[in-house]
Structure 1
């Protein structure tokens, strides 16, 4: 059985909008807000880059950005072209795993130049310094055991780690990334027919939502009931959800069944509404709720612009379900442009993202000086608007 882990801090050096972003604190539930181009997505994209590299290779992770060149922050540096990402994972007992990877651009491709993992516990010395670094091969695992220059050793921790001294194991770390999900849901992709079996290395749901039929197919009866209950909390007329197979039984889509007034003896009839007829917001909610109802569930769920396509009541309901999930162990990070949304969020869970002089900063709303001198009666959304106007 694996030990659940949570991200508690992330640092980025020369990655996209961030030149030097150090120890951004993260809790179970996190909302990032800022103006367009401030760098809200940069943090999520760094985490997704690690996730994709674990599943495939570092160059595949760079491909969605047209290669490594466009990932490197353009601010002047005497260092070789590249970037560094650092994460800290923690278990409930305080044991931690600090991971660092340094990626360099060489002949237009990405190469792993440094990779370190330190595992420790409170009030105890760090137990292991693992993996490798080109600068001092003796500090880590012999690179000859893992010769592929475009693969992270993070993908093979089970065979590289010695017997664990603390509660965190290599399996715990790889499981965290394998169960992470990053969403930029697209209405069109959410309505398409798709294979009903998820590829083995794929996340529970791809970022645009095209594999939603396969996700719903994986739910057992209890999971589908939970999905339906979450949908009914927003749209009470829905009575069922079904997977609809096409001409090829290996592919299909989904439909929601709704009670509508019907001229007949019963006065009502249940109709199946196919995915392509559902509203954009209903499709997005179905995807998010299906993830939360999955028996494995995401370890980390990141959603870009969570309010897109949702009416104000739906936004509040979705946030409540996401907060409930965070209390059950699903770590949640969402971005938003909506000050109104902040009024349902604790100050400690909100981070303001700013960009000035070519660099991005993250500040908790409760720590912002302008927020601290605000009238206590001013709600979080109002505080954020006042900060924008100053």
Structure 2
């Protein structure tokens, strides 16, 4: 499933933006405070709404009034995502729309809709349509070409601060809701912490995918070592090229039953534990574990991957993000690195601009001057450093 567009209204700094024609690999730049983290947090917010409820997701962000844009012209938050999914053997464009408001008893879901438009001029086909905890979902979705009268609607009730896709998405008969729920659950919004990736870890727990914080790095390394040996070997080969001296990395099950990572430097006979390895080495190994995942996430969001890494590694890292996207996992990356930007294409870049206290999104491909320079062989990072991204620099 590929996200084609996202519309935000009154979500923090985004009073009203609509980002369309989103590529498989999107790189976001902008000054500090422009809204890069907020843009990525849209996905984290939906993920949190699904894990708990809307109230809890808002509370963790300062409550409704802190998430609602300042000076908002209306009293609700809107998140609308268009994405492609297979329906009756054909890739269709589906829209998920979520509107959240607040009343005296707290926040609630004013409207939640999952729909597909039948043909250019046809009326929308609503897989799911809920308002304030009440609504319906279609159970014969495979027959979406039928008339509205022939659709089988099943009325349901959910708590007013709970997403309908959370409850209905558990049931196979609501195929579209089930598919979208699985999509959100599979998103990976990285919040990697080097210190959480180091040290001894319990041998049991999630091991197939690197966690958002990276705290299960040794377990995932062991999983790849045991279940996907060619992939793990490729990771080691890449590590040895990028980190001078590192000849191998191996997960080690210690006598007390805990798991850790052991690094081998070709200059020394004895391997050493990960607590003696540089931050950059740990981070590069974690990125390779993430990007060589045999089952890529449908959406991967990473902020500022250049931190702690040598600038000359950015070109290869950008290419690996792109290859990850081509394998089926859409990738969003924010960066302040000209070296990383020099490795990306014209249609892969957007930048954020603060205007009157709200954030706007601009695409590099829509700027005639940037497009002209890129067509003549210029690099995106050089153009950014030279100030051609109008409004992107701090005032």
Give TM-score scaled by structure 1 length: 0.83
Per the alignment, residue 163 of structure 2 pairs with 152
Q: What displacement does 1:137 show?
A: 5.3
Distance (whole Å) between structure 2 residues aligned to residue 382 and residue 28 of structure 1: 23
Counterpart secondary structure, 1:386 = coil
Distance (whole Å) between structure 2 residues aligned to residue 55 and residue 49 of structure 1: 10
More off after superposition, 123-132 vs 276-285: 123-132
Confirm whether residue 380 of structure 1 aligns to residue 380 of structure 2: yes
More off after superposition, 350-359 vs 366-375: 366-375
Per the alignment, residue 265 of structure 1 pairs with none
Distance (whole Å) between structure 1 residues aligned to residue 284 and residue 271 of structure 2: 17
Distance (whole Å) between structure 2 residues aligned to residue 216 and residue 105 of structure 1: 45
Q: Which runs of 5+ in 2 are unaligned?
A: 139-152
Counterpart secondary structure, 2:211 = coil
Kindly report which structure 2 residues correspond to 1:160-239, keeping only aligned pairs within 5 A, or say none: 169-198=176-205, 204-219=209-224, 220=227, 221-235=229-243, 237-239=245-247
Confirm whether residue 87 of structure 1 aligns to residue 81 of structure 2: yes
Distance (whole Å) between structure 1 residues aligned to residue 16 and residue 198 of structure 2: 40
Q: 1:136 to 1:182 in 2, by over 3 A?
A: closer
Per the alignment, residue 99 of structure 1 pairs with 96
Per the alignment, residue 280 of structure 1 pairs with 279
Q: What displacement does 1:72 show?
A: 1.6
Kindly report which structure 2 residues correspond to 1:47-58, keeping only aligned pairs within 5 A, or say none: 47-58=43-54
Counterpart secondary structure, 1:188 = helix
Q: 1:108 to 1:194 in 2, by over 3 A?
A: farther
Does the CA contact (< 8 Å) of 1:117 and 1:130 recur in 2?
Answer: yes
Q: 1:273 to 1:124 in 2, by over 3 A?
A: farther
Does the CA contact (< 8 Å) of 1:28 and 1:326 recur in 2?
Answer: yes
Kindly report which structure 2 residues correspond to 1:1-390, keeping only aligned pairs within 5 A, or say none: 5-77=1-73, 79-80=74-75, 82-91=76-85, 93-107=90-104, 109-120=106-117, 125=122, 128-134=125-131, 145-158=156-169, 169-198=176-205, 204-219=209-224, 220=227, 221-235=229-243, 237-245=245-253, 248-249=256-257, 251-260=258-267, 262=268, 269=269, 271-372=270-371, 374=373, 376-384=376-384, 385-388=386-389
Does the CA contact (< 8 Å) of 2:96 and 2:112 recur in 1?
Answer: yes
Equivalenced residue count is: 369
Partner deviation per Cα, 1:37-73 (whole Å, 9 max, x = no partner): 1111222100111122223332333344233332221
Distance (whole Å) between structure 1 residues aligned to residue 132 and residue 60 of structure 2: 29
